[in-house]
Amino acid sequence: MNISNTILHEIANENIFLSDVLSAWSDVTHNLETQTSSKTILWNNKDITSNNKTFFYKDWFERSIKYVDQLYDYRIKDFYYFDNICYIYGIPSNYFLKYYTLIKSIPIHIKSEINTNNTSCTQTTFVENILGRKNKTNKIFYTLQIKNPTENSKIQNKWQVLFGENELNWKHIFTMPYKATIESTLRNFQYKYIHRIIATNKYLFKCKLSKSNLCDFCSENIETIEHLFWECKHIQPIWNQLISFLEQHQLNVKLSFLNIEKEIALSNDTLQIFEQKMNRIKLS
C-alpha cells in the first residue's frame, strides 16, 4: 500500500483518526514490500494514477485482484490481453476501457521490476499471517516500526536549536514522564509540552484568538513556551521555591532552563504555571 498523505486524507474523508491508521498501515506494508517482495499494489497506489487520481475497482478487488503482476503475462513479458483477463478473473466484457486505462497508467519502472524479478511474493503471506493471529498483532507491528531508524522530528530539532551544543537525550526525555509519575494529567501535559502544542499567546494571537501576544503574567514580553515556563519574572519565584525545597532535603540540583527541559517531569510546577495561566484566561 503506497499512499500519499493527500490520498490518505481523501480515503479517510478527513477523519484524522482513520487517516492515522491508514498512514501507519501504509508505513508497515511499504517497509515489508521493500524488504521482502517485488510485488506492487494496484489500488490506492500514488505511483499509479490517471488525472492525478489513484485507482480502486471494488469488484476487481473482491475477485482478489490486488497486485500489478496479476495482470502480467510472464510468457510474453507484457500485460494480458483483455480477453484473457475476462477469462482468468471473470471480469465483465464492458470493462474494456477500465482495464486499458489502468494498465496504461502503470509506470515503466514498475513493469521493468516485474520483468527483472518474477519471484513469488512472500510479503503478502507474511502480512496475512500476522493479521490472522488473535493476539500480539499490535506488538508485532510496533516492533516493525521501531526497528526502522527515523530522523529527528521538527520539534526535536527546534529544541536542539534552543540548546545549541548541549546534546539532548531524547530517549530519556520521552520516557521520563512514565518513570516520574502515574498521573495521567501530568503525562498528558508533558507530551504537549515536549511537542510544543501548548497554546501560548504568541500562537493564539496569530490565530486571532487572543488580543495580544504578550505574556498573561508580566504583560511585557512575548509569551513563548520558554518565557511562560522559565523567563517570566512572575514565574521565577516558583522555581526559587523549588530550589529551596530541594536544598532543605539535601538535594543539590542546579536548576536552569536546560535542566528543567530535560527533567521537567520531576515536579508539577510547570503544570501549575499553565493552570494559573488558564485560570487568568477564564477570569478575564
pLDDT of residue 47: 86
How many C-beta atoms surround the C-beta of residue 39 within 10 A? Answer: 21
The reported pTM is: 0.48
pLDDT tier, 183 (very low <50, low <70, confident <90, very high otherwise): confident
CA dist., res. 221 & res. 200, Å (int)? 12
How many C-beta atoms surround the C-beta of residue 80 within 10 A? Answer: 19
Nearest CA to 50 out of 92, 97, 18, 11 is that of 97
Could you tell me if 103 and 234 lie in one domain? no
Is 37 within 8 Å of 124 (Cβ atoms)? yes
Of 98, 126, 146, the position where a domain reaches its end is: 146
pLDDT at 148 over 80: no
Could you tell me if 219 and 277 lie in one domain? yes
pLDDT at 210 over 70: yes
> 73 or 135: whose pLDDT is higher?
73
Could you tell me if 94 and 49 lie in one domain? yes
What average pLDDT does this structure show over 167-194?
Answer: 86
Range of the domain at 113: 5-146
Of 116, 146, 176, the position where a domain reaches its end is: 146
Could you tell me if 142 and 160 lie in one domain? no
The segment with the largest mean pLDDT, out of 6-10, 12-16, 164-168, is 164-168
Could you tell me if 119 and 165 lie in one domain? no
Number of domains in the chain: 2
Angle at which helices 137-147 and 16-36 pack, to 10 degrees?
70
Could you tell me if 105 and 78 lie in one domain? yes
Could you tell me if 65 and 186 lie in one domain? no
Cell of 98: 477500465
CA dist., res. 211 & res. 209, Å (int)? 7
Could you tell me if 93 and 28 lie in one domain? yes
Could you tell me if 125 and 70 lie in one domain? yes
At 104-134, the pLDDT tens digits run 999 888 888 777 765 444 344 445 545 554 4
The conformation of residue 268, written as its DSSP 8-state character, comes to S
What average pLDDT does this structure show over 237-260?
Answer: 77
pLDDT of residue 216: 92
CA dist., res. 271 & res. 193, Å (int)? 10
DSSP of 27-56, one letter per residue? HHHHHHHHHH----B-TT-TTSEETTEE--
Lowest average pLDDT, out of 1-10, 119-128, 156-165, goes to 119-128
Of 146, 167, 192, the position where a domain reaches its end is: 146
pLDDT of residue 99: 93
Could you tell me if 34 and 112 lie in one domain? yes
pLDDT of residue 30: 58
Could you tell me if 117 and 241 lie in one domain? no
pLDDT of residue 114: 78
pLDDT of residue 14: 60
199-227 as b/e, with b when 16 or more CB fall inside 10 Å? Answer: bbbbbbbeeeebeebbbbbeeebebbbeb
Could you tell me if 136 and 21 lie in one domain? yes
- What phi-psi label fits residue 196: left (phi over 0), alpha (psi between -120 and 50 degrees) or beta? left
The segment with the largest mean pLDDT, out of 168-177, 227-236, 263-272, is 227-236
